[in-house]
Amino acid sequence: MLDSDLTEIEERLKPMVLSALESQSLGLRIISWQLVFVPSIPTPQGPRPGFGVYYQAKGKLIGPDYYVGNLSAWSDPWISQDGVDEAIRGGCEILRKQLYQQSIISDGRSSHE
């Protein structure tokens, strides 16, 4: 039997995650995302179950074979929109850095060929 609390949490989080991905992914091309249950998130009180979103991006100038992904997670099932925005903002920064580093590597390879 599906836990109704989890269904309610997912229904509440989905529009929040979509809004955060839209507002925080400037310069990224998000190609997939999925809400996830995270079995254990380290917290000051010890490991706790949590929720999050896994998302992938593809660089606009990079070939079709290079994608980066990130998992943004939180232990509070009743997180606010600001909290979701903050979590995804940090993840998008990581993705931007990874894509930038890959573009430098790709440029170096093409100039040596």
Confidence of residue 6 (pLDDT cuts 50, 70, 90): confident
Q: pLDDT per residue over 25-79, tens digit each?
A: 998 989 999 999 999 998 899 999 899 999 999 875 555 567 889 999 999 989 9
The number of domains in the chain is 1
Residue 50 CB neighbours (<10 A): 19
* Residue 29, strand partner residues: 58
3-state secondary structure 32-85: EEEEEEEEEECCCCCCEEEEEEEEEEECCCCCCCCEEEEEEEECCCCCCHHHHH
Check residue 89 and give its pLDDT.
Answer: 97
Check residue 101 and give its pLDDT.
Answer: 84
* Residue 35, strand partner residues: 53
Residue 109 has pLDDT above 80, yes or no: no
Tokens 């995650």 map to which residue?
A: 17
Tokens 């100038």 map to which residue?
A: 61
Check residue 112 and give its pLDDT.
Answer: 43
Check residue 52 and give its pLDDT.
Answer: 94
Confidence of residue 111 (pLDDT cuts 50, 70, 90): very low
Q: How is the beta sheet containing 29-41 ordered, strand by strand?
A: 29-41, 48-58, 67-74
* pTM for this entry: 0.80
Q: Are the CB atoms for 88 and 53 separated by under 8 Å?
A: yes
Full domain range(s) for residue 15:
4-112
| Percent of the chain clearing pLDDT 70 (strictly above) | 82
Q: For residue 47, what is the domain's CATH number?
A: 3.30.160
